[in-house]
Amino acid sequence: MTESTIIAPASAPGRGGVSVVRISGPKARPIAQTLCGDLEEPWKLKKCTIRSKGGVDLDTGLVVFFKSPNSYTGEDVVELHCHGNPRLVDLIVAEGVSRGARVAEPGEFTKRAYLNNKIDLAQAEAVADLIAAQTEGAAMAAHNSLSGRFSSDINSCIDSLVASRVYVEASLDFPEEEIDEEGLAQAGLGIKEQLGFVKDTLASAERGALIREGFGVVIVGPPNAGKSTLLNALANKDLAITSNIAGTTRDSIGVELNLGGVVVEFTDTAGLRENPDNEIEEEGMKRTHASLEEANLVLCVYDITKQEEIEPINKDTITVLNKCDLLSEVPRCGEAEVCISAEKGLGLDNLVELILIKLGLGEETSLLSRRRHVVCLQECLDSLSEAVSLFEQGLGLELVAESLLSAQESLGKITRPVSSDDLLGEIFSEFCIGK
């Protein structure tokens, strides 16, 4: 438990119906009592008058006292609900400070929740991600992570790894003839099972990190196939979040769209041609190639009425056959193909559905994760693969136990890293004040 008592507005700055001021720490209750009267009963909203030190009535509002450890931070917490005026909120915070609280740093309430074991680090990160989410999909995925689903997957894997390692380490202490071969074989199977689980979790964390960061879809194809028309059609259909229209007509144009609740940045590129006409076109092509490198998915747009050569692209691709309104009969499409009319808005729903499937955003509820988690899971996977291969080759149980320990430590860094000051500083400084 920390000694200091902290105070900050918990609601967004500005005017509104209600603002909330939060106080946390050992003196939260006595400080709040001098501000707004007795707080006998915890977890009960109570009407109150908020008074200055000089006895002036500042506002009437509501107050609730959360008794430690059943509070957000795990400490005594008081939340004061006053009218939503920023000057009034400043006054109440100043009154709290004059009674011995200090203004909280960004993320300090959540940091205390973490330090007091109310949540783990992945959940603390999910709090920041939920607040920052730009789409409903990202918000729901962050909520899923905050509720502890991601953490409990990680923790159950840590538990299994510990069990396997303990078994392997115990076997080290026995003379060779006394080793329980069958038990050891079971432990080997367990390690293999965990390897599969970590692989699946890594794939889901990679998807979760992309939901947080946004997906990149690049539109390529011959000139006049209808790439810009398609981008406009998608932007009209869905909510465009931002757009950056770049300088020259040969440059790439990017639009961020909310597609099925997830941020997807579509980039319309300069057409790819064998021999660019001039320097500007050459530069445009360079940028197209750079966008292709980074893309999560490529839409190759062709004019269905033309026999255009389909260039092989070394990426996950959807072939979009455009201008189907010009044909009397729409042909059957292959698995990764869609026939559309960007101009008439035909087939766009099918295209969006296929994009979401290709990005791995089907029906299942997603979790939100960060690159940091992906890196830790990859480290864990490497150590576990090593453990399995050492085990299978019979290359010494000490080495297997060592690899299992590394795998376990890599996972531990996701939820509760051992030495973590720099990391905590980095994570909590991203938060807003009052959270």
Residues that bind ligand GDP in the complex, under the rule CB under 6 A? 221, 223-229, 322-323, 325-326, 341-343
Residue 20 parent element (H or E): strand 16-24
Least spacing, CB of residue 221 vs ligand GDP, in Å: 6
Among residues 198 and 225, whose Cβ is nearest to ligand GDP?
A: 225
Least spacing, CB of residue 328 vs ligand GDP, in Å: 13
Cβ 373 vs Cβ 414: under 8 Å: yes
Rounded to the nearest 10°, the torsion over CA 102, 105, 107, 109 is -10
Residues 6+ apart with CB under 8 A from 319: 300, 302, 310, 334, 336, 337, 338
Among residues 52 and 229, whose Cβ is nearest to ligand GDP?
A: 229
Least spacing, CB of residue 282 vs ligand GDP, in Å: 18
In sign, the C-alpha dihedral spanning 121, 126, 131, 132 is positive
Least spacing, CB of residue 231 vs ligand GDP, in Å: 8
Least spacing, CB of residue 258 vs ligand GDP, in Å: 22
Query: What is d(CA 410, CA 131) in angstroms, rounded to the nearest whole number?
Result: 27
Least spacing, CB of residue 304 vs ligand GDP, in Å: 9
Q: CA-based angle 64:70:72, to the nearest 5?
A: 75
Cross-strand partners of 66 = 77
Cβ 31 vs Cβ 99: under 8 Å: yes
CB-based closest residue to ligand GDP: 226
Among residues 110 and 341, whose Cβ is nearest to ligand GDP?
A: 341
Among residues 70 and 249, whose Cβ is nearest to ligand GDP?
A: 249
Q: CA-based angle 8:144:382, to the nearest 5?
A: 110
Cross-strand partners of 102 = 6
Retrieve residue 179's tokens: 């080793």
Among residues 135 and 291, whose Cβ is nearest to ligand GDP?
A: 291
Among residues 129 and 265, whose Cβ is nearest to ligand GDP?
A: 265
Three-state secondary-structure class, residue 141: helix
Least spacing, CB of residue 228 vs ligand GDP, in Å: 4
Least spacing, CB of residue 341 vs ligand GDP, in Å: 4
Among residues 283 and 409, whose Cβ is nearest to ligand GDP?
A: 283
In angstroms, what CA-CA distances link 194 with 116, 181, 199, 391? 30, 20, 8, 14
Among residues 133 and 318, whose Cβ is nearest to ligand GDP?
A: 318
